[in-house]
Amino acid sequence: MLHAFSRTAPACGPPALAPDLDAARSPQPPGHRATGTRTALVTGASSGIGAAVARRLSAEGGWRLVLNGRDPARLDRVAADTSATVFPADLTEPGADRRLAEFAVSTAGPVDLLVAGAGIGWAGELCDMPPHVIDEVFETDVLATLRLVRRLLPGMVEAGSGRVVLIGSLAGAVGVRGEAVYSAAKAALGVFADALRYELRGTGVGAGLVVPGVVDTPFFERRGTPYRRSRPRPLPPERVAEAVLAAARGRDEVYVPGWLRLPCRIHGAMPGLYRRLAARFG
């Protein structure tokens, strides 16, 4: 099901915008850029980290916010706090990336910042994982994200400015037991961001990756396996929202908390040692 609801504008963008967003950059909505206001599109905004990012951007001011998630009621609650426009949609549905991008451009103007927060997890041994869930995790975490970036990037490059911020995970940096498919999906986002940075050099557009550890959101409940470890303690999603802002301002990789960079470095430099330590301490 794809719903479109805007608190400030009609739900559907003009068909003339599709499929090339370059053409949609003009004419801009009244006040856009001229007033210094920028447009941010946040996915995963109906819950957890994405909702915290929307609130943080709203508190900072100077942003027109377009929010996406699947649950219209939860999305509306976040929008009410942030004066945002919402576009509820399942991003794994064919064409959802195009419809969301068109909606954002037509209601709020060319997108200056994409925060791709939509994601799901699954925990358990691979042999127990229902095969269709592998598809769901990759469709949501990887393919839907890449499609949306592909959709919005040409407009940013043409404008000579813009920022894409992806939400990775510690699991994608070191591989976590019981999260093989999720780890692979998040690793894909990490190398995607790395590779993209080469081709974006000199364009004025950047790609940031935020790498959170454990964050206190409904993520664990939804994946069907609660977080049971005592350490590391889950961080509030507001900490990740700060990291997203740092990535939006130009940092390529932001670990949350910052000390997570250390195990990732050990994993990269001395994988054998890392595996021995991980096997011992979990």
The binding site for ligand NAP (CB under 6 A) comprises 43-50, 69-71, 74, 90-92, 117-121, 140, 167, 169, 212, 214-215, 217-219, 222
Considering the complex, state which of residue 43 and residue 106 has its C-beta at the smaller distance from ligand NAP: 43
Considering the complex, state which of residue 4 and residue 120 has its C-beta at the smaller distance from ligand NAP: 120
Provide the minimum distance between the beta carbon of 235 and ligand NAP in the complex, in angstroms, as a whole number: 8
| Cα–Cα distances in angstroms (integers) from residue 204 to residues 62, 109, 250, in the given order | 20, 18, 10
3-state secondary structure the chain: CECCCCCCCCCCCCHHHCCCCCHHHCCCCCCECCCCEEEEEEECCCCHHHHHHHHHHHHHCCEEEEEECCCHHHHHHHHHHHCCEECCECCCCCCHHHHHHHHHHHHHCCCCEEEECCCCCCCCCHHHCCHHHHHHHHHHHHHHHHHHHHHHHHHHHHHCCEEEEEECCHHHHHCCCCCHHHHHHHHHHHHHHHHHHHHHCCCCEEEEEEEECCECCCHHHHHCCCCCCCCCCCECHHHHHHHHHHHHCCCCEEEECHHHHHHHHHHHHCHHHHHHHHHHHC
Provide the minimum distance between the beta carbon of 33 and ligand NAP in the complex, in angstroms, as a whole number: 28
Considering the complex, state which of residue 174 and residue 214 has its C-beta at the smaller distance from ligand NAP: 214
Provide the minimum distance between the beta carbon of 103 and ligand NAP in the complex, in angstroms, as a whole number: 14
Contact residues for 265 (Cβ-Cβ < 8 A; gap 6+): none
Provide the minimum distance between the beta carbon of 212 and ligand NAP in the complex, in angstroms, as a whole number: 4
Which of the residues 182, 198, 227, 255 is marked catalytic? 182
Provide the minimum distance between the beta carbon of 119 and ligand NAP in the complex, in angstroms, as a whole number: 2
Considering the complex, state which of residue 106 and residue 183 has its C-beta at the smaller distance from ligand NAP: 183
Is residue 182 annotated as a catalytic residue, yes or no? yes
Token pair 């350490």 is found at: 231
Considering the complex, state which of residue 69 and residue 110 has its C-beta at the smaller distance from ligand NAP: 69
Which residues form the catalytic set?
182
